Amino acid sequence: MLLGIAISCYGVLLVPVSLLGGIWIAAGGLALLCAGLVATAWVGDRLALSPVTQRRLSIGCTALAVVLLGSFVAINGATFESGVIESAS
């Protein structure tokens, strides 16, 4: 859960630089936060979830976070332009 909070806060900090990138990273962090919350006994008791359902929801939220963060890295890596300086002769 702490990792999810940290990633979400980092995404919020990125919003002034890149709105879409910041929201994308914050969404990945929120998915990790949800994965951690669903796995707790308090949420399981509160929502009357069986341990199997809790595990499936936690794995699903983790998979969503991995897809969001992985696609962010892949898309930004593909659009990254190297700083080639061309001199005018």
The residue range of the domain holding 55 is: 2-71
Count of the separate structural domains present in the chain: 1
What's the whole-model pTM score? 0.79
- Across residues 4-20, what is the average pLDDT? 89
Task: Please tell me the predicted confidence (pLDDT) of residue 61.
Answer: 95
Give the H/E segment covering residue 46: helix 41-46
Instruction: Please determine, for residue 86, whether its predicted confidence score (pLDDT) is greater than 70.
Output: no
- Asked if the structure places residue 50 within a domain, the reply is yes
20-76 pLDDT, tens digit each: 888 999 999 999 999 999 999 999 999 999 999 999 999 999 999 999 999 988 888
Query: Is residue 85 in a domain?
Result: no
Is residue 20 included in any domain, yes or no?
Answer: yes
Residue 56 in 3-state DSSP?
Answer: helix
pLDDT of residue 65: 94
